[in-house]
Structure formats: C-alpha cells, structure tokens
C-alpha cells in the first residue's frame, strides 16, 4: 500500500490554522433528564452501539425532524423519558417489533443488524459488568488507554470492535461532554474516523491519493478493498492527530468540529464551499461551534476542493462496515 495514500502535513497545518479560530459549543441534552446516572450511561452505550451508517436514517420525534444519528439519539432519548431503562434482561430479548417501535416515525436502515448489536451489547454487559454501564467505567479505572482501560474492555463487544475504536471514542466524548464521567487520560483519545471525516480529509488534501485510478474509483463511488479502506482511514487518523497537535484542541473537540462540518457544509453532493449556502436550514456546524458563518465553509480557499473540481468529486471510500 506504499504511497497509494499519504498525509500532506503542510495542508493539515493550513487546515488547523483556520480551525483554531473557532470554539466548540456543546449543549448538554441529559441535564434536564431526571433519571439515574446509570440509565443515562446505558442510553449512550446502546446508542453508540447502533450508531453507524446513518446516511439514510431520518424521522420525526414529537413533530420535530431529525436526520442521521440525531434521529437515533432522540428516538432512544424519548424512550428513556418514557421509562425505558435499557435493562440487560430486556435488551437481550428485545424483539424486532419492539425495536422497530422505537423508530416508528422514521426510517432506520440495517435494522436487523442493529438489533443484533443491542442484544450482544446487553449480553456482554450482563456477563462482565452485572448489566451496569457504570461498572464498566469504574472497572476501567476511569482510564481510556492501556490494559483494562475503557477502550480495551469495550473493544471486546462486537459493536465496538473497530480497530480504530471510532464508536468507543464517540461514546467517551459524549460521556464527557454530558458531564457523566471524566477519563484521567482523555487527551489520549483519538477522533472517531467516520465517513464525514474521511470525505473532508480527501477533499481538503490533508490525505492524498497517489494513484489516479483509485482516485477516480472513489469519485465514482465504487467499492474499495479492505486494505485500501484501512490505509485511507489510517491516514485520516494520522492527519487529524496533526490537527489536534497544531490546533491545541482536545480530540473530542476536533471530532465535533469535523463531524459537524461534514454533515453540514461538506455534504456529498452540494458542498457549501462558497456563499450562498443551501444547507443553512439544517446546519449543525454553526450551532455546535462559534463560527460566524457568512454563507461559506470555514475551509474555503485553503481546501484543495474549493479551487479544484477534481477534488470536489471525492467522497468517502465506499465500504460496508458497522464500525462507523
Ligand atoms: S471548502 Fe468545500 S470541499 Fe472543502 S471542506 Fe469546505 S465544503 Fe468541503
């Protein structure tokens, strides 16, 4: 895989110089939910277990439209507020019909597979932690890294078995953002490399594809092999590490910035590189950061794709996975 894909360090530094001009805003959603800490942790655990490939997921909760992972989260949060405490006994036996009812006002793809992850997560939680998400964190010693740390323990659950630990990092970030627990070594966190972060890395030129035919393949949305997918994703992780170092942000802040940029400005088909923006009605970048938007992407001008049509055609490599 040598040199088929590589990290452009100078471009990463350019990107970080723009990114560090803004801050991250996180509005806690669980503060006003008056249930036991354990139930909030279980909500986040099961939510992240099934939070992947959300591109065609959407729906309404109490008349409000949500898309992607927001819909999954709010549908599950509604269940929690209605008294669903995600007990392992119930989750292990959850039927497809019951699971489907959580999402009855919208569309949830890969539903059978997601249900298997709910059941398996419940089985593992029962087997090793008496069904308690809080015990999993306690037994990790509030450490993410190292033997017996949170990542090590959770990666034994099938839903969290991604070698780059994307969902584990999202879960750890949410736990901290919500103030439910804090990890002693949270600076050891990585970003969760998902399709948004890969698309931005390729379009900006932070990660470059040296092979023209592969570049065209990605632009056309053709499936790529596992070695190529892993090489691109690994390079993306490296690129975002440079951003973390250069911008001086916590990994979870960098993750939040690029995830929201990817699902708002840098959409697959019609990215908002320059004004006017057509995504302002669904933008989560402006609500999750301090960016004062004038109608164009924060990376406009320094992103390769903002001046090169070949790069705008790039998207995340097509690859079927439950890792992100
Ligand atoms: S400038 Fe355009 S292509 Fe580049 S990151 Fe922003 S929206 Fe995406």
Atom of ligand 1 nearest to the CA of 272: 7
**324 is a domain residue:** no
Are residues 184 and 196 located together in one domain of the fold?
Answer: no
Q: Which residue is it, tokens 């088929």?
A: 4
Residue 106 token pair = 């919208």
Mutate to test the pocket of ligand 1, among 200, 236, 276 (most ligand atoms within 8 A of CB): 200
**DSSP-assigned states of every residue in 241-287:** HHHHHHHT--HHHHHHHHHHHHHTTT-SSS--SSSSPS-GGG-SHHH
Q: What are residue 61's DSSP bridge partners?
A: 64
Name the residue with the closest Cα to ligand 1, atom 4.
Answer: 303
pLDDT at 2: 60
Are residues 201 and 134 located together in one domain of the fold?
Answer: no
pLDDT at 31: 95
Name the residue with the closest Cα to ligand 1, atom 7.
Answer: 266
**How much is the pTM?**
0.94
- Phi-psi sector, 139: left (phi>0), alpha (psi -120 to 50), beta: alpha
Residue 289: φ, ψ to 5° = -140, 175
Atom of ligand 1 nearest to the CA of 301: 1
Ligand 1 mean position to 214 CA, how many Å?
21
Please give the Cα distance from 200 to 297 (Å, whole number): 12
Q: How many domains does the chain have?
A: 2
Atom of ligand 1 nearest to the CA of 203: 3
**136 is a domain residue:** yes
Q: Is 16 exposed, middle or buried (0-12, 13-18, 19+ CB in 10 A)?
A: buried
Residue list, ligand 1 pocket, CB within 6 Å: 200, 203-204, 265-266, 271-273, 297, 299-300, 303, 305-306, 312
Identify the CA nearest to 208 among candidates 178, 231, 242.
231
Contacts of 196 (CB under 8 A, 6+ apart): 258, 259, 261, 262, 263, 266, 316
Ligand 1 mean position to 6 CA, how many Å?
19
Question: Which of residues 188, 203, 231 is at a domain's end?
Answer: 188
Name the residue with the closest Cα to ligand 1, atom 8.
Answer: 266
**322 is a domain residue:** no
Ligand 1 mean position to 299 CA, how many Å?
6
Q: Is 109 exposed, middle or buried (0-12, 13-18, 19+ CB in 10 A)?
A: exposed
Question: Which of residues 188, 206, 224 is at a domain's end?
Answer: 188
pLDDT block averages, 10 residues each, the chain of length 324: 87 98 95 96 98 97 96 98 97 98 97 98 98 98 97 98 97 96 93 97 98 96 97 98 96 95 94 92 95 95 93 96 98
Please give the Cα distance from 78 to 127 (Å, whole number): 27
Please give the Cα distance from 12 to 202 (Å, whole number): 11
Are residues 276 and 236 located together in one domain of the fold?
Answer: yes
Are residues 49 and 183 located together in one domain of the fold?
Answer: yes
3-state helix, strand, coil in the chain (%, to 5): 50, 5, 45
């Amino acid at each position: 895989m040598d040199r088929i894909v590589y990290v452009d360090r100078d471009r990463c530094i350019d990107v970080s110089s723009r990114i560090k001009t803004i801050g991250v805003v996180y509005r806690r959603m669980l503060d006003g939910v008056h249930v036991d800490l354990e139930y909030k942790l279980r909500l986040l655990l099961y939510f992240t277990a099934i939070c992947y490939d959300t591109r065609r997921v959407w729906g309404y909760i109490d008349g409000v439209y949500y898309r992607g992972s927001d819909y999954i989260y709010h549908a599950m949060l509604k269940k929690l507020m209605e008294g669903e405490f995600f007990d392992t006994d119930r989750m292990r036996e959850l039927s497809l019909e019951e699971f489907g009812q959580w999402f009855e006002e919208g569309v949830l793809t890969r539903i059978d597979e997601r249900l298997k992850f709910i059941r398996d997560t419940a089985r593992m939680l029962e087997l090793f932690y008496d069904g308690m998400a809080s015990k999993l964190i306690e037994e990790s010693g509030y450490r993410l890294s190292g033997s017996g740390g949170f990542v090590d323990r959770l990666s034994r659950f099938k839903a969290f078995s991604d070698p780059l630990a994307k969902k584990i990092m999202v879960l750890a970030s949410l736990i901290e953002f919500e103030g439910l627990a804090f990890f002693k070594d949270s600076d050891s966190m990585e970003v969760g490399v998902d399709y948004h972060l890969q698309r931005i890395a390729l379009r900006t030129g932070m990660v470059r594809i040296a092979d023209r035919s592969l570049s065209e393949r990605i632009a056309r949305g053709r499936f790529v092999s596992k070695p190529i997918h892993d090489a691109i994703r690994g390079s993306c992780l490296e690129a975002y590490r440079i951003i973390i170092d250069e911008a001086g942000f916590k990994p979870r802040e960098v993750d939040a910035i690029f995830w929201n940029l990817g699902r708002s400005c840098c959409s697959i088909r019609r990215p908002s590189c320059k004004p006017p923006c057509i995504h302002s009605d669904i933008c989560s970048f402006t609500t999750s950061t301090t960016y004062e938007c004038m109608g164009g992407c924060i990376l406009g001008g320094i992103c390769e794709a903002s001046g090169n049509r070949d790069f705008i055609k790039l998207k995340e490599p097509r690859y079927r996975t439950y890792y992100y």
